[in-house]
Amino acid sequence: VIRYCESRLTPEASAKASILLEALPYLRRFSGKIVVVKVGGEILRDKEAVTALIEDLSLLHLNGIKILLCHGGGPQISEAMARLNLVPHFVDGQRVNDPETLEISANVLIGDVNRNLTNLLNVKAPIALGISGCSANILLCKERDPRLGAVGAIELVRTEPLLKMLDNGYIPVIASLGTDGCGRTFALNADIAAGELAGALRAEKLVILTNTEGIYEDPSLKTRLISEIDATSLISLGEKGAFTDGMLPKVESILTALSNGVMSAHVLNGRVNHVLLLEFFTRAGIGTMIYP
Amino acid sequence: VIRYCESRLTPEASAKASILLEALPYLRRFSGKIVVVKVGGEILRDKEAVTALIEDLSLLHLNGIKILLCHGGGPQISEAMARLNLVPHFVDGQRVNDPETLEISANVLIGDVNRNLTNLLNVKAPIALGISGCSANILLCKERDPRLGAVGAIELVRTEPLLKMLDNGYIPVIASLGTDGCGRTFALNADIAAGELAGALRAEKLVILTNTEGIYEDPSLKTRLISEIDATSLISLGEKGAFTDGMLPKVESILTALSNGVMSAHVLNGRVNHVLLLEFFTRAGIGTMIYP
Amino acid sequence: VIRYCESRLTPEASAKASILLEALPYLRRFSGKIVVVKVGGEILRDKEAVTALIEDLSLLHLNGIKILLCHGGGPQISEAMARLNLVPHFVDGQRVNDPETLEISANVLIGDVNRNLTNLLNVKAPIALGISGCSANILLCKERDPRLGAVGAIELVRTEPLLKMLDNGYIPVIASLGTDGCGRTFALNADIAAGELAGALRAEKLVILTNTEGIYEDPSLKTRLISEIDATSLISLGEKGAFTDGMLPKVESILTALSNGVMSAHVLNGRVNHVLLLEFFTRAGIGTMIYP
Amino acid sequence: VIRYCESRLTPEASAKASILLEALPYLRRFSGKIVVVKVGGEILRDKEAVTALIEDLSLLHLNGIKILLCHGGGPQISEAMARLNLVPHFVDGQRVNDPETLEISANVLIGDVNRNLTNLLNVKAPIALGISGCSANILLCKERDPRLGAVGAIELVRTEPLLKMLDNGYIPVIASLGTDGCGRTFALNADIAAGELAGALRAEKLVILTNTEGIYEDPSLKTRLISEIDATSLISLGEKGAFTDGMLPKVESILTALSNGVMSAHVLNGRVNHVLLLEFFTRAGIGTMIYP
Amino acid sequence: VIRYCESRLTPEASAKASILLEALPYLRRFSGKIVVVKVGGEILRDKEAVTALIEDLSLLHLNGIKILLCHGGGPQISEAMARLNLVPHFVDGQRVNDPETLEISANVLIGDVNRNLTNLLNVKAPIALGISGCSANILLCKERDPRLGAVGAIELVRTEPLLKMLDNGYIPVIASLGTDGCGRTFALNADIAAGELAGALRAEKLVILTNTEGIYEDPSLKTRLISEIDATSLISLGEKGAFTDGMLPKVESILTALSNGVMSAHVLNGRVNHVLLLEFFTRAGIGTMIYP
Amino acid sequence: VIRYCESRLTPEASAKASILLEALPYLRRFSGKIVVVKVGGEILRDKEAVTALIEDLSLLHLNGIKILLCHGGGPQISEAMARLNLVPHFVDGQRVNDPETLEISANVLIGDVNRNLTNLLNVKAPIALGISGCSANILLCKERDPRLGAVGAIELVRTEPLLKMLDNGYIPVIASLGTDGCGRTFALNADIAAGELAGALRAEKLVILTNTEGIYEDPSLKTRLISEIDATSLISLGEKGAFTDGMLPKVESILTALSNGVMSAHVLNGRVNHVLLLEFFTRAGIGTMIYP
């Protein structure tokens, strides 16, 4: 059986090669490193964004990057509560978790968001293990504030089960719930959980996917997008009141990660297709990078 | 600092010693072996029974037995549907899973039952990893019957992630859901899932905890409790119509396991306190044992 | 083939379960830890006590506790000398070892006591390796006192061969003899050898099985049996002359072990059936516990 | 320190992402596999081609592909002989190796070509080990034909040292020399050596880089470039006399490799920049692929 | 600090080098192989012979040969019995072992001969572990003949503990006693035990050290010393009645070993200084070699 | 098949045994240790000396000594240049390396000397891997002196690839070339390269084989051969101008090695047959030993 061709060397080939070559030094740098990615519930409703995200995570994983995916599910929880005619309460930007709310949150986070993320990753290769921070007491918590109900403050991250999963080639997909080790479940802010996980695992990067282009100097105007900023300058910005409620836990998460040895943190727009790939493998970078 | 005592050698001591000694040959036999335990949703609502079950599983695990816990959650799902004024439909004893039902089933099974079982086990030691059969495509399914909606028939059990968890000393707690590897979730009968898991893992034992004393020759009369029975005789009994709807998937599960090399299957009353401990460590055994 | 039963759930079952449950936290604590057990020659002549001891050691070993058994054989040596019409001499409670006595001691300790202990343990499972402290120069000695002849003072415990045996799942059974590494054999007090072994191996426990209930405050009266005592108080008691000749080396052994990091030492009555099991697995403990 | 940017999301970004995504399934397929690449001396003189080749090999290596590079050096040897006013003789397309020629060949192949290839690869990362087939008797030969002098026919490939180097993460760069294991060196045709190496290592691919676009049905006309061909058809073409002297050993090499379990062989134009990258990572493929 | 010398290159140096060089191919062949050496009690009383034997065993061990030393102690046992005015009985060249005789045999073999051999080996390096075949039920026996009392016939050699000791770099020194696995001890003919050990361990060589030069065709005349003989010819010689009582178990041992895959057996005069070294490392060999 | 012999115990046997016994403590001491041997080009032309050297290296390797062989090739390079009518230039005893000279040096060192040494070692067993210091950037250099051309000064020894080869049981044969990690090759003095390698690998010994008996106090008179000298005294001798051009780099090499933890350095006459064997395995030692 013989097949012929006239010429297959198109001008595009050279362009392809040069893009693959640009990715080379980044591959070298990140292979074998741990990267914690946080994805919020709102992005997970954008089907195109999720498809691109799943492709990117698979590609990073195939290149030997150890991925840990941490997710929340705020909009999904609010919607489930709305269906039951329940009104969520917030204190200081944190959802109050009475027993009924916690039950709904847990069901939606693990039973719905986590399961679907896990299933989608497993279409590429059977590598995703969907768990919550309750598994093996990975996220050990105490009660954060009596006014908030079952909202946890992380006291200890038990990294051993995560490291074993990563070493065995799996991607842990972690719903942002924790436990006090005595059987009780706590809701956790997914941004903060991601920062604690990245710090405890001494991750190379913490990537927070959100729905803005990155951090703006003045978020109300959305004029001055910050490309790179160090932790000290970020703290100063915060003291000037630059951050909105949604950004506050992201900033806290980033500072926790950086002060525990994480090399860089990134705030990216999760709705930009293949934003992870572009951040990891292209020279320009994208969004806001925060370094220690 | 000195403390004194008059005499601490009570007559009970000798009784204690003799019970520990009776357990000795069983420990020797089961250490390092895999045991699949299936627990139904109804038992999980009996607080005392659950407490005893958790203690037993911890003890077996500490003695080097590799435990895999598979659970369903029928009553919990029915209750959640009732709260939403939804009526479950059944065909051939199998719940029909339209999209809304599947969503509720998944939420309750993973977000509620699995999380709580995992949390309770982790109170003893941080050893339980709560997952569903969707993780790493462990339970690969196809659609069982178009009339049943998202109800799966297991085509392949991917044992590698489970064997790694067991070898690393963890107890996988598996919600009876599966996936087609293309992103879709299926509900699975937990009895049948447990039998497939036990067979694929070449488990030493399959233990089905239920709410009867075991298998009765005539379940309506509950007079002749079977102590031991071989697979062929069990099949004969089934052909005589001896089994009710609830018992049919248990029998199918047991026969699947035994025909794949599992050494014995057990139907035990999960409401008897410490029924697992008594089955493993005492001479008399308990409930019904089925052997190949 | 079907067998039936009426009811097998006796009231005893619950009692059995509760005793197994009591043992649970102790199993968790001691699994994988090293325990040095010293047994004296007099107990080895009590057939019932030896049978119970062997069963206990097997049970501890099966539960993953790393057992090292060190034994003496004073009465057996005295008897062998009597048969040859030789009279043992003692200086400071230590048997004088002229060449002929050493020869008889070595023959009886290794050829008789050690062999029989090893054989009895191997009836349960082929796990016991009978050696003396001369093997691989495990117990390196110098001459203790010229007046005592071939009586050794331990200078170094070579732990490597013992750790390899323990890691490979064997129980070393060690006759209390040592060597100077130049071909000469020395008799050793078995209590002191056990303390040195426990200290060098950083054992979790040192257990000295003897023929009293434990340590009495006034051994002549046998009224005030000490339940728990710390090392400092034990030294004070000794300075008050509370200990008889037979107890002196036990106290020296215990203090050696505790000062080298052993967590607790125990003096137990080896004639109480299953005294090891009761000490390890029941809440009350038994005999005298000495802690650092 | 804060840096700002207006917008960094260029239209190119999406193009970049799609090319990286195209590479994804190929990475998955080749990671961990062994690939033998043969490069001829003439390509090594084309500086741009060599630079691109080195980049490609580094990229493949970084992606976990186990690369073994086998090279000849015909033009370099001829040039060295010319400088010494020596005239090479050929029999059946094979260079005759009298002692002086062998000496010059060995010097040029190892001392010049191999060293330079190794050095160039090591600029990217210190991963290349430059050896000849004499090292550890990797290419065991006998004399091919008395008329050819020190020209070897490979009798055995000792794969163990190569597998150890590959497993340790190195790229063996092998000069096409062999030994009879008795101290004598033989020149080897590099194409044939590459085919034997690929076959013995059960490589995934054998890639022969040459200075034509691939295999032409009629090489004199260079009209019909073959895109894909199976081994049987290749043999038929050969029997029709389709191959020139330079192509004959390539065809022999390919048939040796394929008959020993290599999955595919490729003849590519080494002067096309990044031809390896395009072959491995793009959908179209390039050059001629031969399959079993 | 400087030291001078005139000339240190003596004519002996070259002789030394050539002897070391002769040893080279033998080292290559035996390194990492298992060799079972049997030494009889009579040789152990010849102090010079023992010293040379110990040096040889150390040298072989240091060169990576895995040595297992099996010993008897007939003369020592007879002497101990004489001291107690006991008369040994023999049936078919086997000592009858009534309970008292077994007790004395065990004491002398383990407590005296084994301990001294172990101690002597440990002077060189702490590598010898003195055990009997009772340890870990290594030599599992049944009663050989009711007339002989506690004389065992080996039914199974448990090689695992021996292989672990050999792999950990130790020399097991084994007293020729066995057990029925139920606590009873049996005396074993050391020649036969050595043959069974060599066969079960698939040893490279079995070496029997005795007090003759090797096997004579007619032992009464001691004229025709056999240098090499195959197993079949040895059997023929035996059928002609060529062997005395002392040689019979040696022949049985050798045939057992050879029929289980041992490559060669050797009967050497243990009183020739460094006979092991000469057998292993010189071209001529020594004594009688028997091959399959 | 039977073969007989009269007597094979010759008086030589005992002499053989005593020489093997003398080697015993040295084997014990060096087994598993790393030894760096430097051999100069002049010795490699003495066929008898090379044969003996190869035998010695094989013997040392077989006894578990980890050998690394570093070689130069000065005379071979000079000869090759002469054939091309090129005149080598020297500055401070270092050959000036213009591009043409470097090319010839590299060709001769790797293509000729290294290949032949490797081939000869592999006749004994396939254990030698012939590489240069360019492989895996093992010898990282900078330019030593602009006047010298491509002559390197070692900045870093990358030991990992060498340790892997040694651990895998191979003998690295290293041609004294280095690289700047940017593709350029540098000639290195082989003495100095050997000293850097020995120091970086924390070798037990550095052995420099040369064509004198060792170090003389006054090399012009060759009267006072130094048997042992410490580093400080060696430095003093140097300050008195005791060393010729050829000896200067040897002294620098030795001091580098000793100051980096090498236990001893040796200057031996490589033309004395089996000088390595005599140095390692006989009591007297040979040549000059330098200690820290």
Mean pLDDT, rounded, of chain F: 90
Mean pLDDT, rounded, of chain D: 90
Q: What is the band of E278 on the pLDDT scale with cuts at 50, 70, 90?
A: confident
User: What does the pLDDT read at residue E5?
Assistant: 66
User: What does the pLDDT read at residue E8?
Assistant: 52
User: What does the pLDDT read at residue F193?
Assistant: 98
pLDDT tens digits, one per residue of E184-215: 999 999 999 999 999 999 999 999 999 888 99
Q: What is the band of B26 on the pLDDT scale with cuts at 50, 70, 90?
A: confident
pLDDT at D8 over 70: no
Nearest to D134 among F109, F118, F135 (CB): F118
- Taking an 8 Å cut-off on Cβ atoms, the answer to whether C5 and B225 are in contact is yes
- The C-alpha atoms of residue C70 and residue C132 are separated, in whole angstroms, by 9
Pick the closest to residue A113 from A42, A178, A186 (CA basis).
A42
pLDDT tens digits, one per residue of D257-277: 999 999 999 999 999 889 998
Q: Where are the alpha helices (DSSP H) in F68-124?
A: 74-83, 99-106, 115-124
Task: Find residues 179-198 of chain D whose CB sits inside 8 Å of chain F.
Answer: 179, 181-185
pLDDT tens digits, one per residue of B53-84: 999 999 899 888 999 999 999 999 999 999 88
pLDDT tens digits, one per residue of F97-129: 999 999 999 999 999 999 999 999 999 899 999
Chains F and D touch (3+ CB pairs under 8 A): yes
pLDDT at F135 over 90: yes
Min Cα–Cα distance to chain E from C54, Å: 12
| Mean pLDDT, rounded, for F235-248 | 88
Nearest to B63 among C19, C63, C284 (CB): C63
pLDDT tens digits, one per residue of C65-109: 999 999 999 999 999 999 888 887 888 777 789 999 999 999 999
Q: Does D252 touch chain F (CB under 8 A)?
A: no
F273: nearest CA partner in chain E: E14
E110: nearest CA partner in chain C: C111
Encoded tokens for A218:
């003045």
User: What does the pLDDT read at residue B180?
Assistant: 96
User: What does the pLDDT read at residue E117?
Assistant: 96
User: What does the pLDDT read at residue A64?
Assistant: 86
Q: Does C51 touch chain E (CB under 8 A)?
A: no
User: What does the pLDDT read at residue F9?
Assistant: 57
DSSP structure class, residue C232? H
Q: What is the band of C9 on the pLDDT scale with cuts at 50, 70, 90?
A: low
Poorest-pLDDT segment among B35-49, C79-93, E260-274: C79-93
Nearest to F118 among D109, D126, D135 (CB): D135
Chains A and F touch (3+ CB pairs under 8 A): no
> For every residue of chain B, which 3-state class applies, written as one string?
CEEEECCCCCHHHHHHHHHHHHHHHHHHHHCCCEEEEEECCCHHHCHHHHHHHHHHHHHHHHCCCEEEEEECCHHHHHHHHHHCCCCCCEECCEECECHHHHHHHHHHHHHHHHHHHHHHHHHHCCCEEEEECCHHHCEEEEECCHHHECEEEEEEECCHHHHHHHHCCCEEEEECEEECCCCCEEECCHHHHHHHHHHHCCCCEEEEEECCCCCECCCCCCCCEEEEEEHHHHHHHHHCCCCCCCHHHHHHHHHHHHHCCCCEEEEEECCCCCHHHHHHHCCCCCCEEEEC
Poorest-pLDDT segment among A282-291, B264-273, D178-187: A282-291
Pick the closest to residue B288 from B240, B241, B225, B239 (CA basis).
B225
Q: Where are the alpha helices (DSSP H) in E213-246?
A: 231-239
User: What does the pLDDT read at residue D96?
Assistant: 87
Q: In what order do the strands lie in the sheet with E185-187?
A: E152-157, E139-143, E177-179, E185-187
pLDDT tens digits, one per residue of C249-287: 999 999 999 999 999 999 999 998 899 988 888 766 688
Nearest to D4 among A14, A52, A224 (CB): A224
- Taking an 8 Å cut-off on Cβ atoms, the answer to whether E62 and F27 are in contact is yes
User: What does the pLDDT read at residue E10?
Assistant: 66
CA-to-CA dists, residue D37 to A272, D231, D265, angstroms: 39, 19, 10
User: What does the pLDDT read at residue F212?
Assistant: 87
Burial class (CB in 10 A: 0-12, 13-18, 19+), D292: middle
3 state SS of F272: coil
**Full pLDDT tens readout for chain A, 292 residues:** 778 765 455 667 777 888 888 876 787 788 899 999 999 988 888 999 999 999 999 989 988 899 999 999 999 999 999 988 888 788 877 778 999 999 999 999 999 999 999 999 999 899 999 999 999 999 999 999 999 999 999 999 999 999 999 999 999 999 999 999 999 999 999 999 999 999 999 999 999 999 888 898 876 776 788 999 999 999 999 998 888 878 999 999 999 999 999 999 999 999 988 999 888 887 666 889 999 9
End-to-end CA distance of chain C: 60
Interface mutation target, options A116, A117, A135, A184, chain B, most CBs of B under 10 Å: A135
pLDDT at C141 over 80: yes
Task: Find residues 255-284 of chain D whose CB sits inside 8 Å of chain A.
Answer: 272-274, 277-278, 281-282, 284
pLDDT tens digits, one per residue of E10-64: 667 777 888 888 886 787 788 899 999 999 988 888 999 999 999 999 989 988 8
Contact residues, chain A, for B181 at CB < 8 Å:
122-123, 126
The ipTM (two decimal places) reads: 0.92
The DSSP annotation for E22-43 comes to HHHHHHHHHTT-EEEEEE-TTG
pLDDT tens digits, one per residue of D81-128: 998 888 878 887 777 899 999 999 999 999 999 999 999 999 989 999
Q: What is the band of C63 on the pLDDT scale with cuts at 50, 70, 90?
A: confident
User: What does the pLDDT read at residue B2?
Assistant: 79
Poorest-pLDDT segment among B97-106, C119-128, D2-11: D2-11
User: What does the pLDDT read at residue F6?
Assistant: 54
3 state SS of F127: coil
User: What does the pLDDT read at residue E285?
Assistant: 67
- The C-alpha atoms of residue B173 and residue B197 are separated, in whole angstroms, by 12
Q: What is the band of F49 on the pLDDT scale with cuts at 50, 70, 90?
A: very high
pLDDT tens digits, one per residue of D194-207: 999 999 999 999 99
pLDDT tens digits, one per residue of B135-177: 999 999 999 999 999 999 999 999 999 999 999 999 999 999 9
| Mean pLDDT, rounded, for C159-183 | 97
Interface mutation target, options B4, B14, B212, chain C, most CBs of C under 10 Å: B4
- Whole-prediction pTM value? 0.82
State the chains in contact with D (3 or more Cβ–Cβ pairs under 8 Å).
Answer: A, F
Q: Which residue has better confidence, D6 or A49?
A: A49
F230: phi then psi, degrees, rounded to nearest 5: -95, 165
- Asked whether F187 and F150 are in contact (CB, 8 A), the reply is yes
